[in-house]
A and B are shown apart, each in its own frame.
Chain A
Amino acid sequence: MRVKYITEIAFALIIARWKQTGVAAVGVTFSITLFIALLGFMEGLNTLLDSLILNRTPHIRLYNDLKISDNQPISMSSKYKDNYNFINSVKPYNTRKEIYNVAKIINQLENDKRVFGIAPKIPTQVFYNVGNIELNGVINGIDVEKEAKLFFFNDYVIEGDYKDLKKIANSIILGKGAADKMLAKVGDIINITTSNGEQFSLKVVGFFQSGMAELDKVQSYASLATTQKLLGKPENYISDIQIKIYEIEKAPMIAIEYSKLFGVDAEDIQTANSQFETGSSVRSLISYAVGLTLLIVSGFGISNILNMLIYEKMDTIAILKATGFDSSDIKKIFTTISLTIGICGGLAGLLFGFLLSLLIDSIPFVTASLPTVETYPIDYGIRYYITAITFALFTTYFAGWFPARKASKLDPVIIIRVR
């Protein structure tokens, strides 16, 4: 009953001064709206930019790196065992690029519960022949279906059917940049020269656009079998295994484990692409800072309006105190007013924030480098809404706290005497 009465008094005061309290609530609404739209947009962009890289980068890559042998012949010699041996100009030895026992490793990875999926890959250096010019290129031998499942390969094929790569023998999906240089169309036959000097003719079945122009000038895709043929290697030749796992943050740990288990090199995504994480986190930090500044400013607005309300309603406070309401009751009344402003303004802000996000989401955004994107990206994550309303309540509570304390300390005798 008492709680009910305190809210009733608070609401009566709000209604008595609904214009001022309305303005305060609109301030909160405005800041929450911008907070949500800003963060949703910023995070949407972050996700988009990151996915440019992250979607197409394996979480863990298994391969054989070119490196210097750890065991130089001299260290095996018992004669020089107790000496410090300095060797100048050491060169890497000629390792085989293929991964040994590939079938067994793949089998074991497929049974690992942490692994989302794997896709084998054979990157190989080639030259595209355009008349008498040779252009540098890389052909990635891939398993089309697995590549599509793990790396959304199909999203980036802008012309032709990506499945033709498997159906049609000696076929190639050209990078858009490379195709433009060669003036190639879908259905054309192009010639390439492998690093061994052999020439091949391949049929163009599609174009590929990754969003990074430099990459598209060089990269093309062919099936595993075609690539093995180009290299003159047997069917079990696989040089890279790409792994996607369920929990990306565990990648460094699992990479070390696989490296030991299979005796190959393993690189995790965090090591390979650390700069993207940094960029994203700084961008979201800035958006949070701007959003919180807006909220704090609206908090000052609430504080001001409550102070005015207290000056206008001194008589009311004096009567309440004289008739037995104590300081904590007065404090509760004014805190209730400020929280009501916060809740009403905040909820309206959530709604308008969502609507503004929808609006941004419908603005066309077409760029050659991002073939799958048609409008501005928005992240509708519930966490922004929760953060926004939490901070709104937090700031309005504190904005109300000081005026409420001031009101509770007013001396009724002074107010009554002054009349």
Chain B
Amino acid sequence: MNNNKDNQVSQNSEDNRVVLDAKLINKSFYDPVQIDVLKDISFQLKSMDFISIIGRSGCGKSTLLYILSTMDTSYKGELYIDNILLTGKTDKELAAVRNEKIGFVFQFHYLLNEFSVLKNVILPGTKLNKKSVEELESIGMNYLKDLGIEHLAHKMAYQISGGGKQRVAIARSMINDPLIIMCDEPTGNLDKTNAEIVFKIFKELASEYKKTLLIVTHDMDFAERTNRIITMEDGRIVS
């Protein structure tokens, strides 16, 4: 575990490096009439930022997250991650970027019910194919231990509770040591206690693992404790 942390510290040592840069992002839906969901969104995410995006439902914050995460490709504007222009890249190249540089945590836990917890955690790692299964399993076990759920490692994913699932999803997002971790309403589906646990984990990811975090939420308590809040209204960033 110590080795692991050292690595990450050295990797992220250059503070204030821009890891994500969105320039004039516009997106419209055309069905049935043109609705502009995002209007001239520009912002930067620096290394080790811990940022939350808040706004009313329908303001476009989730849509923005899907664009930033490279899953949604129908937008105007330019998106750079790690100083590489991603706009216009092929599906295969984007999948590789998601795999290596972005970790995901969704509102609904989205684990593969056919697999054990540990297999779920190491799944993105096997796709990246840089480490052997044994190495990945030991790294995965370490994350599970840090999140306090190592006793669940060999249970099937559908056998564990909601809060547990969300922690497994966080461990999965960490497995490839990504540049940015993106979360879509990570506490939206959890009770107060579990939401608190998950928040503490994010805090730890930011401070101890020096991760860059981008969290979409409508939980104000949660947002206020992050380092920076981006407020969205009607498809624009207002503050």
Taking a contact as CB atoms under 8 Å apart, the answer to whether A12 and B99 are in contact is no
Given the known inter-chain contacts A323-B104, A324-B96, A326-B91, please indicate yes or no for A316 contacting B127, CB distance below 8 A: no
Stretch at the interface among B11-19, B37-45, B47-55, B109-117: B109-117
Nearest Cβ on chain A to B158's Cβ, whole angstroms = 10
Q: Does A96 contact B (CB under 8 A)?
A: no
Q: Does B165 contact A (CB under 8 A)?
A: no
Taking a contact as CB atoms under 8 Å apart, the answer to whether A316 and B112 are in contact is yes
Given the known inter-chain contacts A1-B132, A413-B66, please indicate yes or no for A324 contacting B112, CB distance below 8 A: no
Given the known inter-chain contacts A324-B100, A413-B66, please indicate yes or no for A12 contacting B114, CB distance below 8 A: yes
Which residues of chain B are within 8 angstroms of A2 by Cβ–Cβ distance? Answer: 126-127, 129
Which residues of chain B are within 8 angstroms of A419 by Cβ–Cβ distance? Answer: 107-108
Which residues of chain A are within 8 angstroms of B71 by Cβ–Cβ distance? Answer: 321-322, 411-413
B129: which of A1, A411, A416 is its contact (CB, 8 Å)?
A1
Q: Does A327 contact B (CB under 8 A)?
A: yes
Q: Does B72 contact A (CB under 8 A)?
A: yes
Complex: A16 Cα to B95 Cα, angstroms: 26
Q: Does A417 contact B (CB under 8 A)?
A: yes
Chain B residue nearest in CB terms to A416: B106
Taking a contact as CB atoms under 8 Å apart, the answer to whether B129 and A321 are in contact is no
**In the complex, per-residue mask of A315-359: 1 if CB is within 8 Å of any chain B CB, else 0:** 110111111111111000000000000000000000000000000
Chain A residue nearest in CB terms to B104: A322
Which residues of chain A are within 8 angstroms of B126 by Cβ–Cβ distance? Answer: 1-2, 5
Given the known inter-chain contacts A5-B126, A329-B127, A417-B62, please indicate yes or no for A324 contacting B110, CB distance below 8 A: no
Q: Does B172 contact A (CB under 8 A)?
A: yes
Taking a contact as CB atoms under 8 Å apart, the answer to whether A319 and B66 are in contact is no
Taking a contact as CB atoms under 8 Å apart, the answer to whether A326 and B95 are in contact is yes
**Inter-chain CB contacts under 8 Å: number:** 79
Q: Does A212 contact B (CB under 8 A)?
A: no
Which residues of chain B are within 8 angstroms of A286 by Cβ–Cβ distance? Answer: none
Given the known inter-chain contacts A1-B133, A412-B71, A413-B66, please indicate yes or no for A323 contacting B113, CB distance below 8 A: no
Nearest Cβ on chain B to A26's Cβ, whole angstroms = 22
Which residues of chain A are within 8 angstroms of B172 by Cβ–Cβ distance? Answer: 323
- Tell me which residues from 117 to 134 in chain B have a Cβ below 8 Å from any Cβ of chain A: 123-124, 126-129, 132-133
Chain A residue nearest in CB terms to B72: A413
Q: Does A248 contact B (CB under 8 A)?
A: no
Complex: A417 Cα to B72 Cα, angstroms: 11
A5: which of B66, B97, B113, B127 is its contact (CB, 8 Å)?
B127
Complex: A152 Cα to B69 Cα, angstroms: 80
Which residues of chain A are within 8 angstroms of B133 by Cβ–Cβ distance? Answer: 1
Nearest Cβ on chain B to A418's Cβ, whole angstroms = 11
Nearest Cβ on chain B to A288's Cβ, whole angstroms = 40
Complex: A323 Cα to B128 Cα, angstroms: 10
Chain B residue nearest in CB terms to A318: B110
Q: Does A13 contact B (CB under 8 A)?
A: yes
Q: How many residues of A contact B (CB 8 A)?
A: 28
Taking a contact as CB atoms under 8 Å apart, the answer to whether B110 and A315 are in contact is yes
Q: Does B151 contact A (CB under 8 A)?
A: no
Q: Does A68 contact B (CB under 8 A)?
A: no
Which residues of chain A are within 8 angstroms of B128 by Cβ–Cβ distance? Answer: 324
Taking a contact as CB atoms under 8 Å apart, the answer to whether B113 and A16 are in contact is yes
Taking a contact as CB atoms under 8 Å apart, the answer to whether B104 and A327 are in contact is no
Q: Does A15 contact B (CB under 8 A)?
A: yes
- Tell me which residues from 40 to 94 in chain B have a Cβ below 8 Å from any Cβ of chain A: 62, 66, 69, 71-72, 91-92
Nearest Cβ on chain A to B69's Cβ, whole angstroms = 8
Complex: A5 Cα to B91 Cα, angstroms: 21
Complex: A2 Cα to B132 Cα, angstroms: 10
B92: which of A9, A13, A326, A416 is its contact (CB, 8 Å)?
A326
Chain A residue nearest in CB terms to B95: A326
Taking a contact as CB atoms under 8 Å apart, the answer to whether A319 and B132 are in contact is no
Complex: A223 Cα to B100 Cα, angstroms: 90
Nearest Cβ on chain A to B25's Cβ, whole angstroms = 15
**In the complex, per-residue mask of A1-38: 1 if CB is within 8 Å of any chain B CB, else 0:** 11001000100110110000000000000000000000
Nearest Cβ on chain B to A330's Cβ, whole angstroms = 10
Nearest Cβ on chain A to B215's Cβ, whole angstroms = 16
- Tell me which residues from 132 to 148 in chain B have a Cβ below 8 Å from any Cβ of chain A: 132-133
A324: which of B62, B114, B115, B124 is its contact (CB, 8 Å)?
B124
Q: Name, among B71, B91, B95, the residue most crowded by chain A CB atoms within 10 Å (CB to CB).
A: B95
A326: which of B66, B96, B110 is its contact (CB, 8 Å)?
B96
- Tell me which residues from 145 to 170 in chain B have a Cβ below 8 Å from any Cβ of chain A: none
Complex: A144 Cα to B96 Cα, angstroms: 80
Which residues of chain A are within 8 angstroms of B106 by Cβ–Cβ distance? Answer: 322, 416
Nearest Cβ on chain B to A6's Cβ, whole angstroms = 9
Q: Does B23 contact A (CB under 8 A)?
A: no
Given the known inter-chain contacts A413-B66, A413-B71, A416-B106, please indicate yes or no for A323 contacting B114, CB distance below 8 A: no
A-B contact pairs, 20 of them (CB 8 A): A2-B127, A5-B126, A9-B114, A12-B115, A13-B114, A15-B114, A16-B113, A16-B114, A315-B110, A320-B123, A321-B95, A322-B71, A323-B127, A324-B97, A325-B127, A326-B91, A326-B92, A328-B92, A411-B71, A416-B66
* Other A-B pairs beyond A316-B114, A322-B106, A325-B95, 6, CB < 8 Å: A1-B132, A5-B126, A13-B114, A320-B123, A323-B127, A413-B66
In order of increasing CB-CB distance, the 6 nearest A-B pairs are: A324-B99, A326-B95, A12-B114, A323-B124, A5-B126, A324-B98
